[in-house]
Amino acid sequence: MKRQLVIFDLDGTLLNTVADIAAATNHALRTLGYPTHSEGAIQGFVGNGVSKLLERSLPEDSRTEENVSLLRAHFTEYYDRHNADLSTPYPGIQELLRSLHEAGVLLAVASNKYQSATEKLVAHYFPHINFVCVLGQRPGIPIKPSPDIVHEIMEKANVGKSDTLYVGDSGVDMQTAINAGIDGIGVSWGFRPLAELASYNPRAIAKHADDLAELVLLRKD
């Protein structure tokens, strides 16, 4: 029996966004006179929202709330104009979403990226997929690994825990699934090391998009 609802993380799961995130981060750092970082280093900063990303990008003695706020303003101004320059869906993701949608599975996105950018990227890259919910970071709502965003999606979809899967590429995602009381599936193609995913003992770790389709539609446990 297939799952009724699949909730996807965005960055590192559906989309490879690291190049655009790195460009925006380094733009903000350069603008304020701070050292920049390699794309690989910035990839390691991603996962806990923009403010935490920017805090990690600053020199340790400069990690103040004021500096993060200043960086965020420059990051957002740049990223809002350039967030789809280099980003791209991972191989097989478009086909996966279409097959799940056609099979009647409800689809949703739960991201720690701020809401406007989350909505823009999903609409740009997946215009033909009718997501039941697309949620990012919003004021007053705890970010992942808080389960609040997952519970909000499940309530809107009217689907229970046993019929829901959460899919992501990081330990934050796996902990989100644990905190929400639902099955989590890791993906090996994202931003975080495979060992990080495995340490959370997810239901499975998918190596290809086809693996996810099988896990969802055939409900292989």
Considering 9, 11, 169, 173, which one is annotated as catalytic? Answer: 9
Alpha-carbon distance of 159 to 162, in angstroms, equals 8
Neighbours of 164 (CB within 10 A): 23
Residue with tokens 């495979």, as numbered in its chain: 194
Alpha-carbon distance of 22 to 215, in angstroms, equals 32
> For residues 112 and 17, is the Cβ–Cβ distance under 8 A?
no
**Per residue in 61-74, is it b (16+ CB within 10 Å) or e — as a string?**
eeeeeebbeebbeb
Specify whether 9 is catalytic: yes
Residues that are catalytic: 9
